[in-house]
Amino acid sequence: MTSQPNSGPINTESMKDSVAALRHYQAMQQEGLIISYCGTLTHELMTTFLQLADTKLKELQAAKRKQKNIINVLIECLQNAMFHGDVALIEDNAEPNYKSCLVALGHETGEFYIYAGNYLSRKAAQVLKEKLQAMLPMTSEQLHDLYLTQLGSGEISAKGGAGLGIIRILRESNQQITYSFRDVSKDAAFFSLQVKILA
Partner 1 sequence: MEKIILEATSTTPRIFFDPEAGYFEISGKSLPENSFEFYKPLLDWMEVYSENPVSQSALVFKLEYFNTSSTSHFLRLIKRLEKLYTEGRSAAVQWYYDDEDEDMKEAGEDFKLLSKLPIQILSRGQELTA
Output 50 or 89, the one with its CB closest to partner 1: 50
Output 65 or 186, the one with its CB closest to partner 1: 65
What span, in angstroms and rounded, lies between the C-alpha atoms of 168 and 117? Answer: 17
Q: Using CB under 8 A, pick the residue from 75, 120, 143, 177 that binds partner 1.
A: 75
Output 124 or 188, the one with its CB closest to partner 1: 124
Choices 5-13, 98-106, 143-151, 190-198; region in contact with partner 1 by CB under 8 A: 143-151
Spatial CB neighbours of 140, under 8 Å, sequence gap ≥ 6: 171, 174, 175
Phi, psi angles (nearest 5°) of residue 107 = -145, 125
**End-to-end distance of the chain based on CA atoms, in angstroms?**
22
CA-wise closest residue to 49 among 18, 19, 75: 75
What span, in angstroms and rounded, lies between the C-alpha atoms of 137 and 175? Answer: 9
Phi, psi angles (nearest 5°) of residue 111 = -145, 145
Residues in contact with partner 1, shown as a per-residue x/- string from 147 to 176 under the rule CB under 8 A: xx--xx-xxx-xxxxx-xx-xx---x----
Choices 65-73, 113-121, 123-131, 177-185; region in contact with partner 1 by CB under 8 A: 65-73
Q: Using CB under 8 A, pick the residue from 11, 18, 25, 43 that binds partner 1.
A: 43
Size of the residue set binding partner 1 (CB under 8 A): 31
Spatial CB neighbours of 148, under 8 Å, sequence gap ≥ 6: none
Contacts 24+ apart (CB under 8 A), 47-51: 48/1, 49/1, 49/74, 49/78, 49/103, 50/74, 50/75, 50/78
Asked if residue 187 binds partner 1 (CB under 8 A), the reply is no
Choices 29-37, 40-48, 103-111, 181-189; region in contact with partner 1 by CB under 8 A: 40-48
- Contacting positions for partner 1 (CB under 8 A): 43, 46-47, 50-51, 64-65, 68-69, 71-72, 75-76, 79, 147-148, 151-152, 154-156, 158-162, 164-165, 167-168, 172
